[in-house]
């Protein structure tokens, strides 16, 4: 009966209670949404590259190697000579090896030289492969395949010409050897979206007339001549390696790290990704912190609502008191009310979250390549909801204690 009366009392103050409910619901949805984004982003991030067992580059730090080889952020300190590359490729543990050559750019996007095998070996999000949304993979020397973001930002379609600039953010262009867009990749949510991919040979070809980072003055080898040349790269920036058996990964890693001819570094992408996440994850935690503050604000709002309702409810409390209710019953009533509100708010929040997720999931996947799975609430999220209800109860103790004092002082006299 007390529960029924508490619900009745809440319903009687429907509008303010509905506002409080909405505030709590929205904040809970926001909090859970951010949490979903966070875990989704983390999972997407950890799945940026999968299926690759080792990444090899010149000796530097593992995060740095990961940044430039996978995320195309920053530059390689050094290259790996073609001889070393061939040497590693010849190791019996190596099932496949794909060279990566970086250093040129097109507009704000990096150009990556690689082999056609890249399209088949590069995996992301638990083994998903790269797919074309239109066009074809390389058919000609000067063909490029561009990522979805590149195509969307620059408005390219298949057969459009591309002039590659030497270096990054540079004005010297490889004007003499323009490329053609042969294919556009589907959105992946990985750095591949922001990459212009060309063949190793093409990267070599556009640098035929270049030496020490500058064009040899007056020299311009005609494209026809270049096509006849032996375009073996002199060096690669990094290489992706798949091993025959996962058990050999560590042995091969050590072997490469102790390679006597040249200082090299081999990293396990998963481990390096986690190291990197530890750095960028701080932002996510900050976001989570902010949305937690929003929940706290909503709860304080509820406290304010209860507070402001106290005066108009002194009569209600006097009636309860006259019927023999203890002051503690009054406290219990207010706390019960807050718990009901918070619980209903939490449920509303969950509903809002799932509605939002259902609507936004394909959009977010398209726009950011971020896949947010719609699944049952995790234990952690249930704890969060429970926490909201408990926090609601705790917060309501403040006005409840005031009600306790009021009802002690008022006795049965109703002052309104």
Q: Which of 86, 107, 175, 326 binds another protein (CB under 8 A)?
A: 326
20 binds another protein (CB under 8 A): no
CB of 323 vs another protein, minimal distance in Å? 5
12 binds another protein (CB under 8 A): yes
How far is it, in rounded angstroms, from Cα 387 to Cα 346? 10
Residues with Cβ within 8 Å of residue 399, at least 6 apart in sequence: 303, 306, 307, 310, 334
Between residues 13 and 59, which has the closer beta carbon with respect to another protein? 13
327 binds another protein (CB under 8 A): yes
CB of 8 vs another protein, minimal distance in Å? 4
Q: CA geometry: angle at 340 spanning 334 and 341, to 5°?
A: 90
Q: Which of 214, 278, 319, 367 binds another protein (CB under 8 A)?
A: 319
84 binds another protein (CB under 8 A): no
| Region at 25 (left for phi over 0; alpha for psi -120 to 50; beta for the rest) | alpha
Give residues 197-216 in contact with another protein (rule: CB under 8 A).
none
323 binds another protein (CB under 8 A): yes
For 126, other C-beta atoms within 10 Å of its C-beta total: 11
Between residues 203 and 406, which has the closer beta carbon with respect to another protein? 406
Between residues 318 and 357, which has the closer beta carbon with respect to another protein? 318
Between residues 107 and 326, which has the closer beta carbon with respect to another protein? 326
Q: Read off the DSSP letter of residue 167.
A: S
Residues with Cβ within 8 Å of residue 243, at least 6 apart in sequence: 53, 54, 93, 94, 95, 249, 252
Alpha-helical (H) ranges within 313-326 are: 314-322
401 binds another protein (CB under 8 A): no
Between residues 318 and 346, which has the closer beta carbon with respect to another protein? 318
Residues with Cβ within 8 Å of residue 261, at least 6 apart in sequence: 83, 84, 87
329 binds another protein (CB under 8 A): yes
In angstroms, what is the C-alpha Rg of the chain?
A: 31
CB of 3 vs another protein, minimal distance in Å? 11
Q: Which of 107, 234, 254, 315 binds another protein (CB under 8 A)?
A: 315
Q: CA geometry: angle at 182 spanning 116 and 137, to 5°?
A: 25
Residues of this chain that bind another protein (CB under 8 A): 1-2, 4-5, 8-9, 11-12, 315-316, 318-329, 409, 411-414
């Amino acid at each position: 009966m007390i529960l029924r009366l508490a619900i009745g009392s809440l319903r009687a103050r429907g509008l303010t209670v509905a506002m409080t409910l909405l505030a709590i619901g929205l904040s809970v949805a926001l909090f859970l949404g951010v949490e979903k984004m966070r875990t989704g982003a983390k999972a997407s991030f950890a799945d940026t590259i999968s299926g690759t067992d080792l990444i090899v580059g010149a000796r530097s730090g593992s995060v740095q190697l990961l940044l430039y080889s996978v995320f195309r952020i920053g530059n390689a300190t050094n290259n790996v000579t073609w001889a070393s590359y061939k040497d590693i490729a010849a190791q019996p543990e190596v099932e496949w090896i794909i060279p990566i050559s970086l250093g040129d750019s097109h507009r704000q996007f990096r150009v990556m030289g690689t082999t056609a095998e890249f399209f088949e070996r590069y995996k992301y999000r638990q083994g998903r492969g790269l797919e074309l949304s239109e066009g074809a993979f390389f058919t000609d020397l000067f063909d490029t395949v561009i990522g979805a973001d590149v195509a969307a930002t620059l408005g390219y379609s298949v057969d459009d010409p591309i002039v590659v600039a030497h270096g990054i953010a540079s004005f010297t262009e490889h004007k003499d050897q323009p490329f053609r867009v042969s294919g556009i990749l589907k959105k992946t949510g990985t750095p591949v979206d922001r990459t212009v991919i060309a063949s190793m040979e093409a990267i070599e070809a556009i640098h035929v007339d270049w030496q020490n980072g500058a064009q040899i003055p007056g020299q311009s080898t005609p494209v026809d001549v270049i096509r006849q040349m032996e375009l073996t790269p002199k060096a690669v920036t990094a290489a992706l390696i798949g091993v025959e058996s996962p058990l050999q990964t560590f042995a091969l890693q050590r072997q490469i790290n102790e390679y006597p001819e040249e200082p090299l570094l081999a990293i396990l992408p998963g481990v390096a990704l986690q190291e990197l996440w530890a750095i960028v994850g701080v932002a996510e935690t900050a976001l989570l912190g902010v949305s937690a503050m929003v929940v706290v604000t909503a709860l304080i709002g509820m406290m304010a609502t209860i507070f402001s309702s106290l005066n108009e409810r002194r009569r209600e409390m006097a009636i309860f008191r006259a019927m023999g209710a203890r002051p503690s019953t009054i406290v219990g009533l207010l706390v019960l009310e807050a718990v009901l509100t918070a619980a209903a708010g939490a449920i509303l929040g969950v509903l809002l979250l799932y509605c939002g997720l259902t609507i936004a999931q394909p959009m977010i996947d398209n726009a950011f390549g971020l896949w947010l799975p719609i699944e049952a609430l995790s234990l952690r999220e249930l704890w969060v909801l429970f926490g909201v209800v408990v926090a609601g109860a705790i917060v309501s103790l403040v006005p409840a204690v005031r009600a306790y004092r009021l009802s002690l002082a008022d006795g049965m006299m109703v002052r309104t």
